[in-house]
Amino acid sequence: MAEKVKAMYIKEGSEAVEIMEIDDELATYYELTGCDCVDMPMRTVGGHRLAFVCDDEGLLKDRLPTAADAKGRVMLVGSLVIVGRDELDPEFRSLTDEEVKAVMDNLLVCTVKDVRSGKYVRQMVLTGVGY
């Protein structure tokens, strides 16, 4: 039985973010991101190092931006699952209340162009993301 972790979910094409408890297993991350190849980079938001589960091939598939740096440059695309992870520990953990607040403080609903359809859509974007 998989351990449950508290995570944040930014769904591509959505104006909302969800805080949820999920099974900490690869199948769950694939299902939520809707991709064929996940990546799990560490990024900084509001002074907290967090793990982002995302589509490793998202740029090649023209996925919508869901995370940007402080200058508005796209950092990650497609649906994101954000979980806690300590730098020297390979295992994911639940987000703390402080980490959730740091993410919430940096969320914006933006209008972005979907290059697949040519239409503009409103999309939740996490800003201020750094390496």
pLDDT range class, residue 124, cuts 50, 70, 90: very high
Residue 126's pLDDT is 96
Which residues does residue 68 pair with via DSSP β-bridges, in sequence order?
74
Q: Give the model confidence (pLDDT) of 20-79 as tens digits.
A: 999 999 999 999 999 999 999 999 999 999 999 999 999 999 999 999 999 999 999 999
Instruction: Judge residue 120's burial from the number of C-beta atoms within 10 Å of its C-beta, 0-12 exposed, 13-18 middle, 19 or more buried.
Output: exposed
To the question of pTM greater than 0.85 for the whole model, the response is yes
pLDDT range class, residue 2, cuts 50, 70, 90: confident
Q: How many residues does the chain have?
A: 131
